[in-house]
């Protein structure tokens, strides 16, 4: 039986930046402290919400090392790995202090055989537990059959998948059983993925309410499905307002008085998106009084 990398909420951390676009490692360390105190179960560093694809390979690894130094092994650190440097980053993640790799295959891979070969090679290079970030366009998604092949590899331990297609999640579970831990990649589907045997969520929402995302998961694990459902529905308007945009997550933090700086190379947010976000934050009683 493969070990479970984490259960519950892995915060997909924003990457704090200064006005000049450089990484603010002091602020990143403070975020790691705050999440540890709040009960977050793991930290996903330089993943999608952390603008991983806009960071250099060196910046990604420095961010992982920063969080590792701060938590000293008390929280699992998942290194976000994607893009053209994915193979090299996977190989270097262990030296940076990662406990596992959150690996997203390049969008250029179209066939299931290409996806399998790339992910198998990257997992071998990492020599760490690997969580495969599925997603992608419908035509490039990893099939349940390919996941079954991946699950037979010794260090491929889990899949982080979009739960909006819940039938697909069921198909992956049926194909892989307990040999592959399943995690939600979208906060809006956490409860549904847990109900199909999932182990938790890689969460953007946890940047704002880490205690509550942890509580949602562990309510289900304790058998309190009603509380899990209640929490899922309560946070749904804010989840929808955030979407999957690092810029909106950082804007939400700013509005709540916890700025993480600008996004790198981000276009200005539309006024409609800002307005919707502010309304959702106010409805959730998160705006300062």
Distance CA 47, CA 69 (A): 18
Which band of pLDDT confidence, cut at 50, 70 and 90, is reported for residue 65? very high
Q: How many beta carbons lie within 10 A of that of residue 144, not counting itself?
A: 17
Query: In the predicted model, what is the mean pLDDT of residues 183-198?
Result: 96
Mean per-residue pLDDT, 134-152? 83
- pLDDT beyond 60 at 136: no
33-47, 104-118, 129-143, 274-288: least confident range = 129-143
For residue 151 the two structure tokens come to: 């699950």
Q: Are 137 and 162 within 8 A, CB to CB?
A: no
First to last CA, the chain: 50
Q: Which CATH superfamily is domain 8-225 in?
A: Aldolase class I (3.20.20.70)
- 18-41 average pLDDT score: 96
- CA 80 from centroid of its chain's CA atoms: 8
Instruction: For 216-240, write each residue's pLDDT tens digit.
Output: 999 999 999 999 999 999 999 999 9
Compute how many other C-beta atoms are within 10 angstroms of the C-beta atom of residue 117.
Answer: 12
> For residue 139, what pLDDT band results from cuts at 50, 70 and 90?
low
User: Where in the chain are the domains?
Assistant: 8-225
**What local confidence, expressed as pLDDT, does residue 135 receive?**
64
Give the pLDDT band (50/70/90) at residue 1. Answer: low
pLDDT at 282: 97
pTM score of the predicted model? 0.95
Of the candidate ranges 29-38, 105-114, 125-134, 224-233, the one whose mean pLDDT is the lowest: 105-114
Neighbours of 114 (CB within 10 A): 14
What pLDDT is stored for residue 240 in this prediction?
A: 96
- What pLDDT is stored for residue 15 in this prediction? 97
Q: How far apart are CA 217 and CA 224, in angstroms?
A: 10
- Model confidence over 90-100: pLDDT tens digits? 999 999 999 99
Checking if the pLDDT of 146 tops 90, the result is yes
Taking only the tens place, the pLDDT of each residue in 148-168 is 999 999 999 999 998 888 999
Q: Check pLDDT > 60 for residue 249.
A: yes
Is residue 274 within 8 A of residue 251, CB to CB? The reply is yes
- pLDDT given at position 108: 84
Mean pLDDT for all residues in the chain = 93
Give the pLDDT band of residue 244 (cuts 50, 70, 90).
confident
What are the tens digits of pLDDT across the range 3-29?
Answer: 899 999 999 999 999 999 899 999 999
pLDDT of residue 273: 93
Give the pLDDT band (50/70/90) at residue 138. Answer: low
**b (16+ CB within 10 A) / e for 45-70:** bbbbbbbbbbbebebbbbbbbbbbeb
pLDDT band at residue 122 using 50, 70 and 90 as cut-offs: very high
What number is the average pLDDT over the span 270-282? 95
Specify the pLDDT at position 22.
Answer: 94
């Amino acid at each position: 039986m493969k070990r479970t990398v984490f259960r519950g909420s892995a915060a997909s951390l924003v990457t704090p930046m200064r006005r000049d676009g450089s990484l603010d490692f002091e602020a990143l360390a403070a975020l790691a402290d705050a999440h540890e105190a709040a009960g977050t179960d793991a930290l996903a560093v330089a993943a999608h919400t952390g603008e991983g694809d806009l960071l250099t390979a060196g910046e990604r690894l420095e961010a992982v090392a920063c969080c590792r130094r701060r938590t000293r092994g008390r929280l699992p650190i998942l290194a976000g790995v994607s893009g053209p440097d994915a193979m090299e980053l996977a190989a270097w993640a262990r030296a940076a202090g990662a406990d596992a790799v959150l690996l997203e295959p390049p969008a250029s891979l179209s066939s299931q055989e290409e996806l399998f070969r790339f992910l198998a090679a990257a997992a071998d290079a990492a020599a760490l537990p690997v969580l495969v970030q599925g997603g992608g366009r419908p035509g490039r998604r990893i099939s349940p059959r390919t996941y079954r092949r991946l699950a037979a590899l010794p260090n491929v331990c889990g899949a982080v998948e979009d739960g909006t297609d819940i039938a697909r999640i069921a198909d992956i579970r049926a194909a892989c059983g307990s040999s592959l831990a399943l995690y939600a990649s979208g906060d809006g589907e956490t409860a549904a993925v847990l109900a199909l045997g999932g182990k938790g969520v890689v969460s953007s929402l946890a940047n704002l309410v880490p205690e509550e995302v942890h509580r949602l998961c562990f309510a289900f694990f304790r058998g309190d499905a009603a509380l899990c459902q209640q929490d899922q529905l309560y946070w749904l308007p804010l989840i929808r307002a955030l979407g999957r945009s690092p810029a909106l997550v950082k804007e939400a933090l700013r509005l709540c008085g916890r700025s993480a700086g600008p996004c790198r190379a981000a276009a200005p947010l539309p006024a409609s998106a800002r307005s919707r976000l502010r309304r959702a934050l106010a409805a959730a009683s998160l705006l300062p009084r």
